[in-house]
């Protein structure tokens, strides 16, 4: 699986958009980009995933560059409840290894009033 | 969210004692996973299951065993707990498609 690089921490003002970057320069053509987050003392929570097109759901938007070497998770109107560690994961979909996910250090997002 | 429960939620035990953690799901998901989370290491996969009685090792499987006799239950056993196994343990499930995993609330285990 391709390795990802994320900033260790970021701050965002409440109500503003939070833009979380992820570099995955060694991504292969069949690898997807996934985002999870973990709020303090809870289990990780799936946010969104994509292959090459931009994706949007009720939680966030995912922007993947044309060369697929980096992506950005966008929380359009961050709230205090979005304070969490955000993990960017690159993974081949549905391989025989049981869809294991490899979590790195992630980005600690602090949303401030 | 998928119905995933873990028991116990907290446990304190002594070195050398056996410990079993239980993960129960109500979503009929094929895949189940056990992770541990430690400061500075993120989440690391211990074991996973791809069906009843079908399990395999993850990244940090030494000192752990698992069993899955029913679709809904996945047990993690520490045969002889050590202090290095003090951690927060998370169970997760997946239907096998799109890699979306649903996580349980976690079990905080302290080995004295």
The model's pLDDT over A60-88, given as tens digits with 9 standing for 90+, comes to 999 999 999 999 999 999 999 999 999 99
Spatial strand order of the sheet with B19-25 comes to B4-7, B19-25, B73-78, B65-70
d(CA B93, CA B50): 10
DSSP 8-state assignment for residue A81: G
pLDDT attached to residue B41: 78
Q: Is B62 on the interface with A (CB under 8 A)?
A: no
Residue B103 scores a pLDDT above 70:
yes
pLDDT attached to residue A95: 54
CB contacts of B45 in chain A (<8 Å) are: 100-102
Confidence of residue A104 (pLDDT cuts 50, 70, 90): confident
Q: Do A101 and B50 touch (CB under 8 A)?
A: no
DSSP 8-state assignment for residue A5: B
CB contacts of A103 in chain B (<8 Å) are: 35, 42-44
Give the mean pLDDT of B51-57: 92
Confidence of residue A102 (pLDDT cuts 50, 70, 90): confident
What's chain B's Rg over C-alpha atoms? 13
Helices (H), chain B: none
Determine the residue among A38, A96, A99 to mutate to test chain B binding: the one whose Cβ has the most chain B Cβ atoms within 10 Å. Answer: A99
User: B2-6, B40-44, B101-105 — which is least confidently predicted?
Assistant: B40-44
* CB count in 10 Å sphere of residue A11: 11
pLDDT attached to residue A84: 97
What is the token pair recorded at B57? Answer: 């090792």
Q: Where do the DSSP E strands lie in A2-102?
A: 9-13, 18-23, 31-38, 45-50, 55-56, 61-64, 70-75, 84-92
Q: What is the mean pLDDT of chain A?
A: 90
pLDDT attached to residue A101: 75
Q: Is A21 on the interface with B (CB under 8 A)?
A: no
Strand-strand pairing, B31-38 and B87-94: antiparallel
What's chain A's Rg over C-alpha atoms? 13
Residue in chain A nearest B5 by alpha carbon: A43
In chain A, what's the furthest Cα-to-Cα distance? Answer: 45
């Amino acid at each position: 699986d391709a390795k990802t690089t994320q900033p260790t921490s970021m701050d965002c003002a409440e109500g503003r958009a939070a833009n979380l970057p992820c570099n995955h320069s060694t991504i292969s053509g069949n690898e997807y980009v996934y985002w999870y987050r973990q709020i303090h003392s809870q289990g990780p929570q799936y946010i969104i995933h994509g292959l090459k097109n931009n994706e949007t759901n009720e939680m966030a938007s995912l922007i993947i560059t044309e060369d697929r070497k980096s992506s950005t998770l966008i929380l359009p109107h961050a709230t205090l409840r979005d304070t969490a560690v955000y993990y960017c994961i690159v993974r081949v979909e549905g391989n025989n290894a049981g869809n294991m996910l490899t979590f790195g250090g992630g980005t600690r997002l602090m949303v401030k009033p | 969210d998928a119905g995933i429960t873990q028991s116990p939620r907290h446990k304190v035990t002594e070195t050398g004692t056996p410990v079993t953690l239980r993960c129960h799901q109500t979503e009929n998901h094929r895949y189940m996973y056990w992770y541990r989370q430690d400061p500075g290491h993120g989440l690391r996969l211990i074991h996973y299951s791809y069906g009843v009685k079908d399990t395999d090792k993850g990244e940090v499987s030494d000192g752990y065993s698992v069993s899955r006799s029913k679709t809904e239950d996945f047990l993690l056993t520490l045969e002889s707990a050590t202090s290095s196994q003090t951690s927060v343990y998370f169970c997760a499930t997946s239907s096998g498609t799109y890699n979306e995993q649903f996580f349980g609330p976690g079990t905080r285990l302290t080995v004295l």
